[in-house]
Amino acid sequence: MAGNDRSREPQTVRAFIALRVDDAVENAVAALVDELKAAGGEGVRWVRRGNLHLTLKFLGPAVPLGKIEPLKTMLQRVAAESAPFELRVRGVGGFPTLEHPRVIWVGLEGEGLGQLARRVEEAAVRCGFEPERRAFTGHLTIGRVTSHRGFEKTRRALSALSERDFGRSRIGAMTLYRSTFAPQGSVYEPLARYELRGAG
């Protein structure tokens, strides 16, 4: 029967490993996005609250499913050795610069973040994934600039908010996500969640 034809199922997935901040911080970031939209917000595709995340490792746009399974085992080990930690969520900026940004971000600071990112990177490379060429910079992407026309209002609003503090968030887990494109934007489906169980 066609309904049981496994050959129709995707053999590759767009996948990444990420962290989510807690509800109070997400509320504060979502309120910022609403402010920026009200201030003009033109030329930017804003990230929906449900999609706010910190990417630890982007695995690729077409990862073979067979490559995901050994990585899951490695991520379990990483989680078992990594202690929960606290993130301070503060500051607003743009990559590469706020003058000519492609991405608008909210900054993240936390002693455990860099260590966890390194462990995840090492695990992924050991499973055959390409090493990341750029230095890890923790951030939450809140928007992607689609046009610099009419962006000046948004830039001024961002500059005024550059030191905004969104609070602190306890990070106790990481998630392996599958991403698919849809008319309303990317849809993220958790494939596995890993509780951080290491000693602090």
pLDDT tens per residue, range 89-131 = 999 999 998 888 999 999 999 989 999 999 999 999 999 999 9
Check residue 10 and give its pLDDT. 63
Per the structure, the count of domains in the chain is: 1
As a whole number of angstroms, the distance between CA 104 and CA 33 comes to 10
Residue-range definition of the domain harbouring residue 41: 12-195
As a whole number of angstroms, the distance between CA 77 and CA 81 comes to 6
Domain assignment of residue 4, yes or no:
no
Task: Check if 53 is active-site.
Answer: yes
φ and ψ at residue 45, rounded to 5 degrees: -95, 105
Alpha-helical segments (H) within 39-134: 65-81, 111-126
Domain assignment of residue 109, yes or no:
yes
Would you tell me how many other CB atoms lie within 10 Å of the CB of residue 48?
11
User: Tens of pLDDT along 128-183?
Assistant: 999 999 889 999 999 999 887 778 888 888 888 888 999 999 999 999 999 998 87
As a whole number of angstroms, the distance between CA 190 and CA 17 comes to 10
Task: Check if 100 is active-site.
Answer: no
Selecting among 20, 57, 119, 139, the annotated active-site residue is 139
Locate 188 and state its tokens: 């993220």
